[in-house]
Amino acid sequence: MMMLVFAAIVFSTILIVMLCYGDPKRRRAASLPGEGHGAGSRRLLAAAACLPGLLWALWGDSAAFLVWLGGCAAAGWIVALWFSRAREDAG
């Protein structure tokens, strides 16, 4: 079961990276070409990233939900720091 939770964390992390990469405000601040994701794309990516947690909650597996939630929170911080460092190195 832990492998399934780990797969859910990886899935959500990939979507978090996609959200961060296509963030229009971050792209403007970093003077990157392109406009980034539109509002609809961002909402769809955010909803898809939350889907594994919703499934764990609906199945009633609170331990898996909390592990997923903590893993996604840690992954979100790491992704934010990673994109922040990339911006500092470029500028």
Domain regions of the chain by residue span = 2-90
Rounded average pLDDT over 66-91: 85
Q: And the tokens for 90?
A: 């470029």
Contacts with 46 (C-beta within 8 Å, 6 or more apart), sequence order: 15, 19
Cβ neighbours, 10 Å, residue 19? 20
pTM for the structure as a whole: 0.85
Would you give the DSSP letter of residue 56?
A: H
- pLDDT tens for 22-65 read 877 777 777 778 788 888 898 999 999 999 999 999 999 999 99
CA distance 75 to 60: 23
What per-residue confidence (pLDDT) applies to 2? 86
* For range 6-11, the mean pLDDT: 96
Instruction: Report which secondary-structure segment, H or E, holds 71.
Output: helix 62-90
pLDDT, the chain, mean = 88
